[in-house]
Amino acid sequence: MFRRNISAIALGNAADVHFRAAVDWLAGNVACRFFADAKSAIAKSALAVPGVRDEPSLVVLLQSRPGQFTDAEIKALRFRWPVARFVSVAGSWCEGEPRSGFAAAGVYRIAWHAAADRLAAEIGEPIARPGGVGRPICRGLFDLPATATIDERLLVNSTPRAASPAVLAVAARRSSWAEPWVDALAAAGHAAVFWPLDGGALVRGIDAVVWDTFGCEGRLAEFRHALPNESADTPIVAVADFPRPQDLEQMATLGVRRVLGKPLMIADLLTCLNDALHAARASQDTRIAVA
C-alpha cells in the first residue's frame, strides 16, 4: 500500500544483476518506465502527447559504474523534471563514491543490496497488514523536502519502530558484534537475544534470525547449521560486509532469504524482517488451512 500514485522513470542497465531486486520492485509497485540512459529518456519525453500528463515524480538512476551519469546529464534531467525526487541505486563498483567525493550532488543514494527495502520504506504506507505485520514507521522520500541531505534523513528517521514485535535471535561469533544489533532491534520494539555461533545456546520460540556473517568467511555452511532452527519457515536475514551478487547466490543455497550489506539503516533491516515474517506467517497459515 502506498502513500500516493507514484510514477517513475528508471535510467540505466535494468538487466544488471545488481539491480534485479530494485527493478522487480519498481515494476511491481509503481508505474515505471525504463530507459537505457538520460539522453533517450529526455528525447522520449519530448514526444509526449500534448495534454497527457507525462511527469514522473521519481527518477531512479541505476548506476553500474562511477561517473555513469555526469553532472551535466543530471542537471538536464532536473531541468526537464524539476519537481521529481532523484534516487541513485549504486552497484558494487560504486561503493567508494561517498568517500572519494564523486557521489552525485542532490541525489539520494541507495546501495544496490538494500534498494528494494529502502524504496519500500521510503514510498510504502506505514500501515499494518493483515496478521499484524506491516512496514516500520518511516519519514519517506516524499515526506521530506527534495533538498534534504542524507544527514537530515538519518536524523528524522533515527528511531524507527517495527510494525509488530517479534522474537529475534542475533547470531554472531562474538557478543560484541551482536550487541549493536540487539540494542537497535530492541529499541525498535522487538525482543532480541544474542545467539553465539561458536557455542551452544538454549533459546526457544525464535520468530526470525539476524546473522552477522563477519568472521564466517570460508565456513558459511558450517555456521549456517549453528543457527536456530525453529522450523523450515523461520526467516534468516544475513548482514554481510560488502556483499556481491555471487554472495547472495551462495547464501540462497544455504536457505538464507535475504542479505543486506553494511553499513545499513536499521529501517531497512526492520522492513526486511517485516516482509520475511509476513511471508513466513502466511506460509504457516496456508499449511494449517490445507491440513
pLDDT tens by residue, 9-52: 999 999 998 999 899 989 888 888 899 888 888 887 755 544 44
Single-letter amino acid code for the residue at 285: D
pTM of the model: 0.69
Say if CB 91 and CB 63 are below 8 A apart.
yes
Task: Kindly state whether residues 178 and 268 are assigned to the same domain.
Answer: yes
The answer on 249 and 177 residing in a single domain is: yes
**Which cell numbers in the block locate residue 188?**
525498535
Tell me which of 125, 145, 179 is where a domain ends. 125
Span 128-175, pLDDT tens digits: 444 444 444 566 777 777 777 777 777 777 777 777 788 999 999 888
Percent of the chain with pLDDT over 70: 81
Q: Of 96, 125, 154, which residue constitutes the final position of a domain?
A: 125
What CATH number does the domain containing 110 carry?
3.40.50.2300
Tally of domains in the chain: 2
At how many degrees (to 10) do helices 115-123 and 20-29 cross? 30
CA–CA gap between residue 190 and residue 188 (Å, rounded): 6
Residue 108 lies in a domain: yes
Q: Is residue 283 part of a domain?
A: yes
Residue 97 scores a pLDDT above 70: no
In a domain, 137, yes or no: no
Per-residue pLDDT band at 211 (split at 50, 70, 90): very high
User: Which domain-ending residue is among 101, 125, 149?
Assistant: 125
Domain with 72 in it: 7-125
Q: Is residue 192 part of a domain?
A: yes
Q: Measured in whole angstroms, how far is the alpha carbon of residue 101 from the centre of its chain?
A: 23
Q: What is the crossing angle of helices 266-290 and 115-123, to 10°?
A: 90
E strands of the chain, at which residues?
Answer: 7-12, 31-35, 58-63, 85-90, 108-111, 167-172, 191-196, 208-212, 236-241, 258-262
